[in-house]
Amino acid sequence: MSNRLKDCFAQLEKDGKKALIPFVTAGDSNKSITVPLMHRMVESGADIIELGIPFSDPMADGPTIQLACERALVHHTSVSDVIEMVKEFRQSNDETPIVLMGYLNPVEAFGYENFAKSAAEVGIDGLLTVDLPPEESDQMAGILAKYDIDPIFLLSPTTTPERIQRIVNAGSGYLYYVSLKGVTGSSILNVEEVSEKVAAIKTYTTLPVGVGFGIKDAESATAISAVSDGVIVGSAIVKIIENNVDDADTILEQIGALLKSMRIAMDA
Amino acid sequence: MSNVANPNLDNSTEESAVNNNSSNSEIKNDLMDHDLSNLDLSKVDWSKLPDENGHFGIYGGRFASETLIEAIQELDDAYKTLQSDPTFQEAIDNDLRHYVGRPSPLYHAERWSKELGGAQIYLKREDLNHTGAHKINNTIGQALLAKHMGKPRIIAETGAGQHGVASATIAARLGLECVVYMGEKDVERQKQNVYRMKLLGAEVRPVSSGSKTLKDALNEAMRDWVTNVDNTFYCIGTVAGPHPYPMMVRNFQAIIGREAKQQCLEQTGRLPDALVACVGGGSNAIGLFHEFLPDLDVKIYSVEPGGMGIETGEHAATLCTAKPGVLHGNRMYLMADDNGQVIEPYSISAGLDYPGVGPEHCLLIDMKRAKAVSVTDKESLQGFHDLCRIEGIIPALESAHALAYVKKLAPTMSKDQTIIVNLSGRGDKDLNTVAALEGISI
């Protein structure tokens, strides 16, 4: 079984550090940039990578991620491409946990069993399906469990105590707390509110809680990591790709620099 | 870590898959086992569809992001409470009678029936409703619900603009703020309806993401909802979306079938032999069908837009051609490629131009209670012109699809048999489209 996520958080705790979790849409802005970018992220201080499965209709995401999906889909980046990318990444990195994140339909079209089996074979550690809440996930959960892939679930500011209980029971690996009401790429972030909510979630579970939505620089990363177990950075990274679509060197350089600045600030 | 959770999850899989609805135990929510082709329809408890979690077998459900779940639950709770509240029902009935003009007539199209030489054709005249289509039956219900829930702002998605107009209309009537999302392409194609919405005080927001049509308008409306959940009610226009929308919209539209059944009994002394309605998302169709579901002798035809012809790939005939998939909060037949990416459908009629179809329709097809058929753009245009010239009624291009199928079906039936077809809307909005095909610019 894959213990990468468990080991990763255990090590972070031992070192007194918080997880830095960058997100990138696989195949954005082309298929060949994704694996080098993943390696650069790790070199720049990433602890876990969330790799987005592109979808034509990313309803819970803002315009930045939607455009990333569109760029990736121009090249028809598919679930099997994403699995291939992780396979290639694993040839020189067997430690960094990889979580796939996306919407249910591409995974359902691939087939739950087929997906879980292939994902486990290449060393994928978790799956976050945005539009699959625990109430609908029984069949998926059974299959992911069979292949030791952690189902990662979202929690939001509006999640009731009753559902927090349900979600922490269903999830494993870590929990993803959505810091604000809105879509990805939104800007208003209230650290105090996040702090209270994360503390509340932690009374239900020993699972690590990562926080995403609205984290875009070293300052916000530091503030949020102080009150949680890790920060998830998505739109800020994707925006760099959007601004430098045809320039792989600049993309790698700028994303590397952003993550480094976050790492240094978070560890200080 | 994952193995800690295994035993519980495995148990719940079996329980919920096999036992989530004891009275309809053969209609399972199990992706590995959902063949219903040999189901005994006489044993179905139609009043228990969907089950309490919104499942029509494997279809429906609540496939929504966590950020939306509480808003959906709040709506579900409010709807459950008000459903059994006589004052709320009275308010809806009152508006339907005095504001919409219900009941809509059931009209015997004698001349057309005679010309086709088969079954007697009755038109359920939803085109005579205020705003010119069935859509307002639903928006009145949802807007009153929004008002009860203390939400001052409603949002809606629209394709052709009919649901947008119906939402803007009732928002004006109730003093609610109204924002309508509409794909940029549709804004361009349906200028008249865009202006109508503006006249009614609504703000129309063009959507430039994705394919710039109805499905993208729906995505954008969901994004608005998730950002403004505190003060906003999302008024979905069709029988799709996360539970309770497919059930709730059906219930608001079911008045079509209730009236039609009574009117048919009054006028012919018996139940109809067949029901025909066009299906895009499926709200007018389920509105007509629902009351008749237990009447197994009444045949049901769901007419889908065959566009340029199924074989060309340029169509929106979801029930006829697609596989189950998940989009917009529910599982349904979904037009998607092998990688699960949603395909942009095509139809001459913007109101049928949707890649999915309401979950209840999917179940009705799987269990063979309804039959899915398709007609092409060309056939539907012929149906459009026939009704204009033979009965003096200009139908919506959506409804013209149902008419085109009636034209095929009626001659195969005997003269003492009866077809009810849902004339879901009037064709004023389509005059530009039809005229353009004849090279006329108006």
- A125, pLDDT greater than 90: yes
How far off is chain B from A213, nearest CA to CA, in Å? 11
Q: What is the mean pLDDT of chain A?
A: 95
Most B CBs within 10 Å, among A2, A48, A136, to test the B interface: A136
Q: What is the mean pLDDT of chain B?
A: 93
Closest by Cβ to A142, choosing from B9, B219, B324: B9
pLDDT value at position B7? 37
Q: Which of residues 162-201 of A touch B (CB under 8 A)?
A: 163, 167, 169-173, 178, 181-183, 186
- Reported as a single tens digit per residue, the pLDDT across B98-112 is 999 999 999 999 999
pLDDT value at position B213? 85
Q: Take residue B245 and report the two structure tokens written for it.
A: 């929308």
Instruction: Say if strands B59-63 and B329-334 run parallel, antiparallel, or are unpaired.
Output: antiparallel
d(CA A108, CA A236): 29
Place of tokens 């504001």: B99
Query: Is B16 considered catalytic here?
Result: no
- B11, pLDDT greater than 50: no
Amino acid in position A79? V
Task: Answer yes or no: are the C-beta atoms of B356 and B323 closer than 8 Å.
Answer: no
d(CA B75, CA B73): 5
Q: Give the pLDDT band (50/70/90) at residue B19.
A: very low
- Reported as a single tens digit per residue, the pLDDT across A46-96 is 999 999 999 999 999 988 999 999 999 999 999 999 999 999 999 999 999
Q: Give the pLDDT band (50/70/90) at residue B2.
A: very low
Q: Give the pLDDT band (50/70/90) at residue B5.
A: very low
- B14, pLDDT greater than 50: no
Average pLDDT over residues B267-294: 98
Burial of A154 (0-12, 13-18, 19+ CB in 10 A): buried
Q: In what order do the strands lie in the sheet with A49-52?
A: A150-151, A126-129, A98-102, A49-52, A19-25, A230-233, A209-212, A175-178, A153-155
Q: Taking CA atoms, what residue in A is nearest to B225?
A: A182
Average pLDDT over residues B2-9: 39
Query: Is B135 considered catalytic here?
Result: yes
Amino acid in position B136? I
B72 part of contact set with chain A, CB < 8 Å: no
Closest by Cβ to A6, choosing from B1, B68, B222: B1
Q: Which sequence positions of A are flagged as catalytic?
A: 50, 61
Hey, which of A133-137, B212-216, B433-437 has the most confident mean pLDDT? A133-137
- Reported as a single tens digit per residue, the pLDDT across A6-54 is 999 999 999 999 999 999 999 999 999 999 999 999 999 999 999 999 9
d(CA B100, CA B143): 14
User: Is 0.80 surpassed by the pTM of this model?
Assistant: yes
Contacts of A132 in chain B (CB under 8 A): 63
Give kind and range of the element (H or E) at residue A221. Answer: helix A218-226
Q: Give the pLDDT band (50/70/90) at residue A2.
A: low
A87: left (phi over 0), alpha (psi -120 to 50) or beta: alpha
Average pLDDT over residues B191-200: 95
Instruction: Say if strands B59-63 and B55-56 run parallel, antiparallel, or are unpaired.
Output: antiparallel
Place of tokens 């033979």: B390
d(CA B198, CA B195): 5
Structural domains of chain B sorted by starting position, each given as residue range(s) with its CATH number in brackets: 66-97+135-248 (3.40.50.1100), 101-132+254-437 (3.40.50.1100)
> What residues are paired with B55 via a beta bridge?
B60
- Reported as a single tens digit per residue, the pLDDT across A187-207 is 678 899 999 999 999 999 999
How far off is chain A from B332, nearest CA to CA, in Å? 11
Q: In B231-249, which positions are buried (b, 16+ CB within 10 angstroms) versus exposed (e)? A: ebbbbbbbbbbbbbbbbbb
Task: Answer yes or no: are the C-beta atoms of B422 and B276 closer than 8 Å.
Answer: yes
Q: Do B31 and A154 touch (CB under 8 A)?
A: no
pLDDT value at position B15? 41
Structural domains of chain A sorted by starting position, each given as residue range(s) with its CATH number in brackets: 4-267 (3.20.20.70)
pLDDT value at position A194? 94
Residue (of A259, A266, A154) closest to A216 by Cα position: A259
Contacts of B10 in chain A (CB under 8 A): 142, 145
pLDDT value at position A214? 87
Q: Do B3 and A183 touch (CB under 8 A)?
A: no
